[in-house]
Amino acid sequence: MAEIKIIYGSTTGNTEAAAEKIAAALGGTAIPVAEADGGSFQADLLILGSSTWGAGDLQDDWIAAEALLDAADLKDRTLALFGLGDQVGFGDTFADAVGILWRKVRSKGARVIGFTRTDGYEFLSSSAAENGCFAGLILDDNNQNDLTDSRIASWCDQLKQEAGLTDEKVAHS
């Protein structure tokens, strides 16, 4: 059975709720980054999540744990990203926290999967977007809360396919 870990930073609880839904859909374990250690970054599929704060910054717990992420061996590790942002109020830095994580894990040699189309979003700029795709699942609970559950479900199905996880390899809770 594949080991799946979802490491996330959440301030208001929205990213935590998304991480728990992803964990339930994939049979994984959701871990707050504030409680993570070096072993937390070892899994068959590692999923990292953060909300975006301020002028396109990582969530505070991720900022405090950056050294932990820097020390993690991610070379050739299968990894996916998700994040929350506000495309209306912060359309010029929409989901930039995912962009920050994406650059970091890519530089460490991770194999990033789970890209999603930017269609259906209206924002000015995002460092998480390139060539019409986001570097993972992007949720906007402020303006598109009604799409969150379906976006998570579709993305989890996509991850299962891209990571080669069959129903036998995915634990069901």
- The dotted CATH code for 4-162 is 3.40.50.360
Average pLDDT, the chain: 94
For residue 117, what are the contacts with CB-CB under 8 A and spacing of at least 6? 132, 133, 134
- The two tokens of residue 157 are 């199905």
Dihedrals phi, psi of 76, to nearest 5 degrees: 65, 10
Is the pTM above the cut of 0.85?
yes
Q: Tell me the pLDDT tens digit for each residue of 135-167.
A: 999 999 999 999 999 999 999 999 999 999 876
